[in-house]
Structure 1
Amino acid sequence: MLRIEHFYVLLAVFLAYTSWHNLRAKRYAHAGFWGLVALLFATGEFVLTASKAGDKLPAQMAGIAVIAMAVLATRMRREHIAEAPEEQRRASAQRLGHRLFGPALVIPLATVLIVLLGAKLRIGNVALFAEGNIALPALAVASILAAFAALAITRTRPLQAPIEGSRLLETIGWAALLPLVLATLGGVFAASGVGEAVSSLVTAVIPADNRIACLLAFGLGMVLFTIIMGNAFAAFPVMMAGIGLPLLIQRHGADPAALGALGMLTGYCGTLMTPMAANFNLVPAALLELDDPNAVIRAQLPTAIVLMLTNLMLMYWLVFR
């Protein structure tokens, strides 16, 4: 039976390879950073499943590793990473054409199919996926299938996959971990009572019996918190605990599935507007060597506003049906 922890171990192997590659290049800060990330992923399963018998990696040690990663991140510098000559890359792109989009499309298509059919996928009497939420294992399997599809289309050796993956990871740098860290921050905020504080503030400012006012507070709050924290995953637990669950779902009978899905989409509009989402907005500007570091945000802003208004209207029409 496939569990997400199995893929965490596979990811840890890839991160360890990235660390070893940097160590060979004498990029010690990079090697230490990715090595610590690999350690956290590799021991994640043990931390989750061995709590009764004693954690393999105590929470204090994990905290020290995170602090060390933060220190190492200040020493990481974006440098030129060797890749194929431009003429070779252009020739390869012209030869492959639109087939290059195939592996990228495999990920969403395979994920949806596995989520829909996962309960029926078996080898003999053994289910491939555990009952319940299989979205993350489905995404992991789809990503592996996409890697194999890319190798088949480009006709390159299998080792090229981790090589190019490592190069891409190094190009993004420490910002690749921002979604994970910010999502964790959202959980910390929710556990520390920020959601309850938001609920008290909102009920003091807006009429809690008016579902439109509560809906606007939830949607605009998702955008605002995402702008502040840089990721909708960080804003979601706070806004759902503060407004979504007590006011919209429990008091006004909103549909939880529709509210959650559209709430996240509305939060993503804030991602398009903020430099805090460095991996989405600042890293591309640096990679493209743009003179204005906020050029990506400026280009996205009109789309973000239109999408935000559209999502707010969709929430009004769908969550109270």
Structure 2
Amino acid sequence: MITLTWLYILGGAMFAAFAILSAADRTHAKRLGNAAFWGLIALSFLAGDHLGDLGNGMLVLCLVGLAGFGLVGRGDPETTSVKEREALSARLGNRLFLPALIIPVTALLGTIAYNYTPFGQSGLFDPKWVTLILLGIGALSAVAVTMLWLHPPVLAPLQEGRRLMDSVGWAALLPQMLASLGAVFALAGVGDIIGGLAGAVIPEGNRFVAVAVYALGMAGFTMIMGNAFAAFPVMAAAIGVPLLIQAYHGDAAVIGAIGMLAGFCGTLMTPMAANFNIVPAALLELKDRNGVIKAQIGTALPLLLCNLLLIYFLAF
């Protein structure tokens, strides 16, 4: 049976390849820092279960040190030349994007087939992680199709992957780090404290104010923590579960799902979500590093209001 462990091995192998290629790139001024950074991430993927809490904590501190002291930088590996890329673009046009569609199509159709056809009875995949496993299979399939179709250099997928990850840098780890921070906050009882404060502010029996505090809190905490996954355990413990679900008998699925969407509205408006808002500005070489955020606020605020109303009218 293919389990989630297989995906961790695949991800670890990829980051290990980035580390090796970085170390071998003598044109890269920060090649050793990059090699150490991606090598540590590879170690966490491949052996994280065996390192223990202390070992993984030390690993994270090493990652923070490498990034914080500026030892990680962007590489520029050679794969195909600019002329070759321009020639492919002129010849193939938008068909170049077809391999990328293999990934979502494989995940979607494969999940449907596994859940609603006899294929699901084969026991090939761990049923809890079918979609993620198929996402990984789709990524490998897309690479294979691209290699057979375009015949790039053998190392092009890894070199281009390294270039992209070097461009994103430490921000690539923010979602995982911030989600972990949310779990720490929940264990520390931050949700209970906020729930006590909210209970003192929300008029008893006023369901709309409770929903508004929950939705706005999801957006606000997401702006502070940079990730809705980090905000969710805090706001769920503070308001979502005790008030909206238990006290007002709301639909847990609606409150949880649309609450996350309210949090994502906060993602659109914060520099803390660096991988979404700051990295694109850097990659696009925008003069205003907050230009992406400013462009999104006009969408985020009305959408937040819509999510608030959806919770109020659909969850009860």
Show the counterpart of 2:212. Answer: 216
Q: Secondary structure at the match of 1:203?
A: helix
Q: Secondary structure at the match of 1:78?
A: coil
Show the counterpart of 1:175. Answer: 171
**CA deviation after TM superposition for structure 1 residue 80, in Å:** 5.1
Q: 2:268 aligns with which of 257, 272, 278?
A: 272
**CA deviation after TM superposition for structure 1 residue 77, in Å:** 4.3
Consecutive unaligned residues in structure 2, runs of 5 or more: none
Residues 189-235 of structure 1 deviation map (CA, whole Å, 9 limit, x = unaligned):
11111111121111111125222111111111111011001111111
Rounded to whole Å, the distance in 1 between the matches of 2:101 and 2:218 is 29
Alignment of 1:80-229 (within 5 A): 81-83=76-78, 84-119=80-115, 126-132=122-128, 134-156=130-152, 159-229=155-225
Show the counterpart of 1:253. Answer: 249
In structure 2, relative to structure 1, the CA distance for the partners of 1:308 and 1:202 (3 Å cut) is same
**CA deviation after TM superposition for structure 1 residue 181, in Å:** 0.8
8 Å CA contact 1:18–1:166 kept in 2: the answer is: yes
Q: Is 1:262 paired with 2:265?
A: no
**CA deviation after TM superposition for structure 1 residue 88, in Å:** 2.9
For 2:60, the aligned partner's letter is V
For 1:206, the aligned partner's letter is I
Show the counterpart of 1:7. Answer: 7
Q: CA RMSD in A?
A: 2.3
Q: Is 1:24 paired with 2:18?
A: no
Q: Is 1:61 paired with 2:55?
A: yes
More relative contact order, 1 or 2 (CA 8 Å, 6+ apart): 2
In structure 2, relative to structure 1, the CA distance for the partners of 1:225 and 1:207 (3 Å cut) is same
The alignment's TM-score, normalised by the length of structure 1, stands at 0.88
The alignment's TM-score, normalised by the length of structure 2, stands at 0.89
Show the counterpart of 2:71. Answer: 76
For 2:37, the aligned partner's letter is F
In structure 2, relative to structure 1, the CA distance for the partners of 1:317 and 1:113 (3 Å cut) is farther
Show the counterpart of 1:41. Answer: 45
Residues 81-135 of structure 1 deviation map (CA, whole Å, 9 limit, x = unaligned):
1454434323322322222333333333332333333346777974122234534
For 1:39, the aligned partner's letter is L
Higher helix share: 2
**Percent of matched pairs sharing the same residue:** 45
Consecutive unaligned residues in structure 1, runs of 5 or more: 48-55
Task: After superposing the two structures, state which structure 1 stretch, 93-102 or 258-267, moved more.
Answer: 93-102
In structure 2, relative to structure 1, the CA distance for the partners of 1:215 and 1:35 (3 Å cut) is same
For 2:41, the aligned partner's letter is V
**CA deviation after TM superposition for structure 1 residue 258, in Å:** 1.9
